[in-house]
Structure 1
Amino acid sequence: MVADDHPMCREAAKHALRIADPDLFLVEAATLRDTLDDRMPLDLVILDLRLPDSNGIGSLIDVMRARPGTSILVVSATEDADTERQVAALGGSGFVSKAAPITELVEAVRAILAGRRWFGPGATVQAPEGTDRASRLAALTAAESRVLRAMSDGRLNKQIAFDLGLSEITVKQHVKAILRKLDVFNRTQAVLLFHGTAG
């Protein structure tokens, strides 16, 4: 799967995939929701962390949780060493800058499909700033992640309960667990952490 909201980037990634393996069956997604909702078994997801409805590194966690065992190659519009190290630390399969030549993407795809990882030499040397945030977000269950995403949209417990088909008591329990796992004191801090503006 190629998950990117820019048609030109999707075409470039599909071209690289066809070069890497002409027999691959390709599907596309333009949003994180489309990526998560597609239930087709996949060997590889090429994931842009800046999908319109995504939350940066949090979207990697969401896709990994939805597709355990699927290799995920992150593509980024910037050559961000910290993000690359976070992807490596969280168990992503690789990282390629969108500024890299298409030959690098082809090599990365071939390596990952062969069971190897694709990162720069410094990707796993040290824990980057933000890895703690990512690990805390990764500790949330799928249900807690959905509640946190709804909280970040400004939804109240009653609205979240209705939207997710849960009881209000269950939502309150999820919120309590979210605050504990994220090591924050209130909803505002949890949302700021979710958006990456608080550690």
Structure 2
Amino acid sequence: MEPTYTIIIADDHPLFRNALFQSVHMAISGANLLEADSLSSLLGLLEKSEEPDLILLDLKMPGANGMSGLIQLRADHPDIPIVVISASEEASIVSQVKMHGAFGFIPKSSDMKVLIGALNQVLDGEPYFPIELMSDDATYSDLAEKIATLTPQQYKVLGMLSDGLLNKQIAYDLNVSEATIKAHMTAIFRKLGVKNRTQAVILLNEASE
């Protein structure tokens, strides 16, 4: 008897989520499929149900800013394989996704045959990253490694810095003290090897290009 897999599809676009739902059903007969349209609804699902066998994660949905959703999921649920499905197909994005612990990357432009093959490969325990999208840029890898050392909260603070928010505004939005934000800043600067917020934001932007 074939195993029954529980898979969560996390994407805020209803049409794509439905198409992916149908594709996964075709790829894996009898799969138990759950859906989430935001990071908060995904985290809610993970709290209420047993850990799934796989999460298919879109990088851009409510509550997730770039890599922040992936980073938070990896920190909170390190044992769940996460495959990113994204319309952003730049080599730098794929490298960053891999650096942050994703088990695979499937471009949204993939045809059905590629998608089914990738899903089966991942469920067999083998990571899936398209070779043609992998970057061998050593400089980028070094940068991605530095950013990967940030905690989910530090990454969130860095993202808010990039949006131009002041310490006071970040503290208010995250419901913590300014002293806590300053401590995060010190840790972020140390890990990234920079001296100020401008340099930190420049590094983040370089990694996101």
- The share of aligned pairs that are identical, in percent, is 39
Q: 1:171 to 1:128 in 2, by over 3 A?
A: same
Distance apart, 1:158 and its partner CA: 2.5
What's the counterpart of residue 13 of structure 2? 6
1:177 partner amino acid: A
TM-score computed with the length of structure 1 as normaliser: 0.80
Gaps in structure 2 of 5+ consecutive residues: 1-7
Q: 1:125 to 1:109 in 2, by over 3 A?
A: same
Name the SS of the counterpart of 2:82 in structure 1: strand
Moved more, 128-137 or 67-76: 128-137
What's the counterpart of residue 190 of structure 1? 200
For the 8 Å contact 1:55–1:194, the answer to whether it is kept is no
Distance apart, 1:154 and its partner CA: 3.2
Aligned pairs (5 A) from 1:49-128: 49-51=59-61, 54-121=64-131, 126-127=136-137
What's the counterpart of residue 3 of structure 2? none
2:25 aligned residue (18, 24, 36): 18
Aligned-partner Cα distance in 2 for 1:119–1:52 = 25
Root mean square deviation, CA, Å: 2.9
Distance apart, 1:87 and its partner CA: 3.1
Aligned-partner Cα distance in 2 for 1:34–1:111 = 27
2:79 partner amino acid: G
Aligned-partner Cα distance in 2 for 1:88–1:161 = 30
Aligned-partner Cα distance in 2 for 1:103–1:166 = 48
TM-score computed with the length of structure 2 as normaliser: 0.77
Gaps in structure 1 of 5+ consecutive residues: none
1:47 partner amino acid: L
1:163 aligned residue (173, 179, 196): 173
Q: 1:152 to 1:88 in 2, by over 3 A?
A: closer
For the 8 Å contact 1:3–1:28, the answer to whether it is kept is yes
2:118 partner amino acid: A
For the 8 Å contact 2:146–2:191, the answer to whether it is kept is yes
Q: 1:197 to 1:117 in 2, by over 3 A?
A: closer
For the 8 Å contact 1:35–1:63, the answer to whether it is kept is no
Q: 1:197 to 1:125 in 2, by over 3 A?
A: closer
Name the SS of the counterpart of 1:179 in structure 2: helix
4+ long deviations beyond 6 Å: none
Name the SS of the counterpart of 1:73 in structure 2: strand
Name the SS of the counterpart of 1:45 in structure 2: strand
Aligned-partner Cα distance in 2 for 1:4–1:150 = 23
1:14 partner amino acid: F
Q: 1:73 to 1:103 in 2, by over 3 A?
A: same
Aligned-partner Cα distance in 2 for 1:131–1:121 = 16
